[in-house]
Amino acid sequence: MKFIVSSLKLLKAVQSLAGVINSNNTLPILDDFLFNISDNELRITASDLETTMIVMIQPDLVEGAGEVTIPARLLIDILKNFPDIPVSFNIDENTLAIEITTGEGRYKMVGHKSDEFPQVPVLEDASKWEIPADVLACGFEKTVFATGNDEIRPVMTGVFMEMTNNGLNFVATDAHKLVRYRRLDIKTDTLASFIVPKKPINQLKNALSGKADETVVVEFNKTNASFTMSGFKLVCRLIDGKYPNYEAVIPKSNPNKLTIDRQLLLSAIRRVAIFSSKATHQIRFKIAGQELTLTAEDLDYYNEAKERLSCNYSGDDMEIGFNSRFFQEMLGNLSQQEILLEMSAPNRAGLIIPVDNQNADEDILMLLMPVMLN
């Protein structure tokens, strides 16, 4: 079995798969990539039993067919040190000896039998959506940062994808913050929902970059979902459980409305937050008239900061506290020039909504729980 391929093309393929492989696998075979050659196509697979990712590439030359698993770290390390040159792989199907040749260079390693490598899950009774790659990438990008890390509540560690009559929703929350990204232009007859874990989402985000013109076929059943486009497939186990009723926690009546330049506010919060408590990251918003005063203090070290900003405000004067790290994350994940901060009371959640969104089919809502002021 033999194939010749560009070293750079192969390196990009295996590096895109590397994130699937865990650093401490219980099964040694999971430290390998599965190489399968058939019909003049090379399919490279990585798996951690929960997530399986496949990349298909076209070698310059193929002789024979078959499959072998190759140690992932060793392969990546050698490919990273090649310039962009043709690389020839000769694989002995009996001994599984692998010889890599590049002009004057000759490198040898030993592969492993493929029969122990996990099979790609087959989705039975699957439903199907077709979603533009840029929509899927944007939905994950806008929400994945708001997912939780608490394994006691696993449903909050992933992104909730929900197809409704209104469109496609991406939702993430960790109980302190919540993001809902809605696309009104994506409709399908199959109304359904499922929770995608964080790890496959991060793999998908990387794979979707630069594929804006493509369509991703999403197939899913109660336990697994697959995401397929040209030259790429990812299959992952879904998070089992019922997602919280996120609509119930979004306050409907918010009479206090503050409009301000997003970058101006983000820069001010970054400066003031340096002086906040390292335990709470609390920052105080004091709004009076058309002026917003940001205050932070760290009583343990006698540090204090205050900054005034002009804003457009309608409502009662109020003081409310927020976690500065969460606020920075939310503002950093928006691109619009201005944001609207809607509030009702110092002990109720605040809503961050972008102003003048250029895309009428895009609806972004971010919710942040307040922190108790000292």
Query: Could you read off the pLDDT of 83-93 as tens digits, one per residue?
Result: 999 999 999 99
Residue 122 located in a structural domain: no
Q: Is residue 308 part of a domain?
A: yes
Picking from 194, 213, 248, the residue at the C-terminal end of a domain is 248
DSSP 238: P
- Token couple for 354: 């972008």
| Angle (nearest 5°) at CA 362 between 361 and 366 | 155
Shared domain for 20 and 96, answered yes or no, is yes
Structural domain of 107 = 2-116
pLDDT tens column, 123-158: 999 999 999 999 999 999 999 999 999 989 999 999
If one counts the domains in the chain, the total is 3
Q: What's the N-to-C CA distance of the chain in angstroms? A: 70
Region 223-243: mean pLDDT is 97
**Domain containing residue 184: CATH number:** 3.10.150.10
SS3 287: strand
Task: Give me the pLDDT at residue 81, please.
Answer: 96
Residue written as tokens 């929770």? 195
Instruction: Supply the pLDDT for residue 44.
Output: 98
Each residue's pLDDT tens digit, 263-320: 999 999 999 999 999 999 999 999 999 999 999 999 999 999 999 999 999 999 999 9
The mean of the pLDDT values for the chain is 96
Residue 190 is assigned to a structural domain of this protein: yes
- Is residue 121 in a domain? no
What are the phi and psi torsion angles at 146 (to 5°)? -90, 0
What are the residues whose beta carbons fall under 8 Å from the beta carbon of 279, sequence distance 6 or more? none
Q: What would the pLDDT profile of 190-213 be if each residue is shown by its tens digit?
A: 999 999 999 999 999 999 988 889
